[in-house]
Amino acid sequence: MEKQDVILSNNLEESLSAAIANVAYDRLFVLTDEITKVKCWPVVADMACMRDARQITIGATDENKTLDSLAYVWAQLQQGGATRHSLMVCLGGGMVTDLGGFAASTFKRGIAYINVPTTLLAMVDASVGGKTGINFGGLKNEVGVFNTSRSVILDTTFLKTLDYSNLASGYAEMLKHGLISSVENWAELLRFDLHDANLAALGPMVAKSVAIKEHIVAEDPLEHGLRKALNLGHTVGHAFESLAMAEGRTVLHGYAVAWGLVCELYLSALRVGFPTDRLRQTMHFISDAYGHFDFDCKRYDRLYELMTHDKKNTAGEVNFTLLGEVGDIRINQTATRDEIMDMLDFYREN
């Protein structure tokens, strides 16, 4: 898989112009959702490099990360005369970069695309690393491909457009990156006041978070080993997210990951000795920032079933990434059904 060109931009027009100029293309398309078309497209619309771009807009939120939306993007590319030499700019959050990257990777067996993430979640997670895909059959990211964008342009100017919930959603992935890297990174993240976020201070933290993910992806681009570290919090988090979606109470991805971190750190303490004081500190931060995911014991079997569908599983066992300590990554860990039920009990009672 090609190495991604990740650009930490201080001048969006200059960075986007250079990234587009690096691709020999015949037609230019830009993908937005209904929200980023209103909030973010005006930021780039008058740039010389974007004046000939043909717009494609899909519905916002993860509920639209579907086969129908994917087919709509393919149809718009086809009707717009896209060829194998066309280029698509994905301007939006993680849903747009995931679905847009998948659409670009499969149309005409693959056209070039550039990610311009506009949410914190997309900046530190979805747009970096080459994972693309859609939800399918009630399961998160069930269908997709590994294929890196030509460039990822990170400009924290877009963070001014975010409400608290979307800022917090992205921060959960940063917290995960802190947990898998070092005590210093983890502690810095717990000190940050999300409720009164200083975006100037957040910028360097975003860069650090992206660098952690880049290092891991470079070591293991196709997730055969180390890259599984990035799944911390996601086995349970995706189950929470899928359950909420099925029940018509969709939650933001980062919130589900944050709640999943609490569960999987408890499992880490139970299985591999993760320090309980660090568990409690992390839990306190997550409870204050993200609240609590509400479910009762009648949902346990469904949550367990959703975990068994996780793509990381092997030989029918639920696969977790756990931590022996902050930065001490233990991939390919399993847990018994009883331990998983105990974990769900712990989450509901704390």
Structure-block tokens of residue 322 = 């756990």
User: Which amino acid appears at position 338 of this protein?
Assistant: D
Q: So what's the pLDDT on residue 263?
A: 98
Q: So what's the pLDDT on residue 56?
A: 98
In this prediction the pTM is 0.89
Q: So what's the pLDDT on residue 317?
A: 84
Alpha-carbon separation of residue 342 from 75, 187, 192, 290 (angstroms): 47, 28, 31, 22
| Topology given in CATH for the domain delimited by 5-161 | Rossmann fold (3.40.50)
Q: So what's the pLDDT on residue 140?
A: 86
Please write the tens of the pLDDT for every residue from 241-273: 999 999 999 999 999 999 999 999 999 999 999
Alpha-carbon separation of residue 227 from 285, 312, 330, 331 (angstroms): 25, 11, 11, 9
Range list of H helices, the chain? 12-21, 34-39, 41-44, 67-79, 94-106, 120-121, 164-179, 183-191, 199-219, 234-246, 253-272, 276-290, 300-308, 337-349
Q: So what's the pLDDT on residue 1?
A: 62
Q: Which of 307, 300, 278 is nearest to 346 (CA)?
A: 300
User: Which amino acid appears at position 75 of this protein?
Assistant: A
Rounded Cα distance between 227 and 267, Å, is 20
Structure-block tokens of residue 115 = 């990610």
Beta-ladder partners of 32:
57
Q: So what's the pLDDT on residue 218?
A: 87
Which CATH superfamily, name and number, covers 164-349?
Dehydroquinate synthase-like - alpha domain (1.20.1090.10)
Residues of the chain predicted below pLDDT 50: none
Q: Which of 60, 197, 182 is nearest to 118 (CA)?
A: 60
Q: Where are the domains of the chain?
A: 5-161, 164-349
Residue 224 contacts residue 252 (beta carbons within 8 Å)? no
Residue 115's Cβ-side half-sphere holds a number of Cα atoms within 13 Å equal to 39
Q: Which residues of 291-308 are buried (b: 16+ CB within 10 A; e: fewer)?
A: eebebeeebbeebeebbe
Residue 117 contacts residue 152 (beta carbons within 8 Å)? yes
